[in-house]
Amino acid sequence: MENKSIIAVIAIVIILIGGFLYTSSSGATVSAQGASLLEASPDKVSVYLSIEAKNKTAQGAKDAHDKILDEAILQLLRIGLERKDIKTVNFNIYPEYDWANGKNELKGYIARQDIIIEIENFDLVANIVDASITAGALVSSINFELSQEKQNEYKAQALEEASKDARKKAEATAKGLGKNIGKLISVQGEEFNYGPIIYYRADSAGGSVAEAKQAAISLTPTDIEVSASVKVEYKLRSF
């Protein structure tokens, strides 16, 4: 009988301790926002071109545009690019008006198209710019970027660093409260941010042929900032 009483008391104590531990560890939580900032060397450069041709008729504008485009592609292939490196996007033909005598008068039509050239060989940029301008195209911008493979690599690294930062902050907050962090409850707001470096942009550099060529000749890769943030939530425990 005495042994049964002792066992019963022990069981009650275990239950009480378990209940205390449960309530002390599962009620309160602590949240923290972690962040990271890395510098990445660009492994890709993108040259953005535009072709613009004007004519009295829409067909005439298109024909003039097509002539410049064909010549630009031909010149780019001659300097060593492959056709897959040259992307044509955003083709459009629209009317051009002139305000005169109190009304808009049709002057003609403009045919416009953008070209994007993405390469990993930075040494080709000067030749690309020179060949494009010779063919009649305009240089809109030159950007330093990360390939998708590099983006994935830095994304994993940045998120890992942000997660470590979030845990450290959660631990510091818990310590200040005289507690420790327990089980991870949730991870929210995993964000990865990366933006290309605009090395040259025509609308801010004056847009002259000479400036575009000089920018290409003096091309200097600039590191790109990669950042990430993570929000975490942990249970608090007193032991």
Q: Please tell me the distance from the alpha carbon of residue 199 to that of residue 220, in angstroms, as a whole number.
A: 8
Q: Is there a domain that residue 207 lies in?
A: no
User: Tens of pLDDT along 26-79?
Assistant: 579 999 999 999 999 999 999 999 999 999 999 999 999 999 999 999 999 999
Q: Are 87 and 116 in contact (CB under 8 A)?
A: yes
Q: Are 238 and 28 in contact (CB under 8 A)?
A: no
- For residues 84 and 127, state if they share a domain: yes
Show which of 145, 161, 184 is a domain's final residue: 145
User: Tens of pLDDT along 111-120?
Assistant: 999 999 999 9
- For residues 188 and 127, state if they share a domain: no
Q: Is 120 exposed, middle or buried (0-12, 13-18, 19+ CB in 10 A)?
A: exposed
pLDDT classification of 15: cutoffs 50, 70, 90: very low
- For residues 49 and 79, state if they share a domain: yes
User: Tens of pLDDT along 83-115?
Assistant: 999 999 999 999 999 887 778 889 999 999 999
- Domain extent, residue 60, equals 45-145
**What is the pLDDT, as a whole number, of residue 100?**
78
| Sheet strands (E) in the chain | 29-40, 44-55, 86-100, 103-119, 138-145, 180-194, 197-201, 224-237
Show which of 123, 145, 167 is a domain's final residue: 145
- For residues 65 and 111, state if they share a domain: yes
Mean pLDDT for 200-228 is: 89
Three-class secondary structure of residue 203 per DSSP: helix
- For residues 73 and 184, state if they share a domain: no
Q: Is there a domain that residue 5 lies in?
A: no
Show which of 127, 145, 163 is a domain's final residue: 145
What total number of domains does the chain contain?
A: 2
- For residues 101 and 177, state if they share a domain: no
pLDDT classification of 189: cutoffs 50, 70, 90: confident
**What is the pLDDT, as a whole number, of residue 8?**
43
Q: Is there a domain that residue 206 lies in?
A: no
- For residues 109 and 193, state if they share a domain: no
**What is the pLDDT, as a whole number, of residue 17?**
44
- For residues 85 and 135, state if they share a domain: yes
Statement: residue 239 has pLDDT above 50:
yes
CATH (domain of 124): 3.30.70.2970
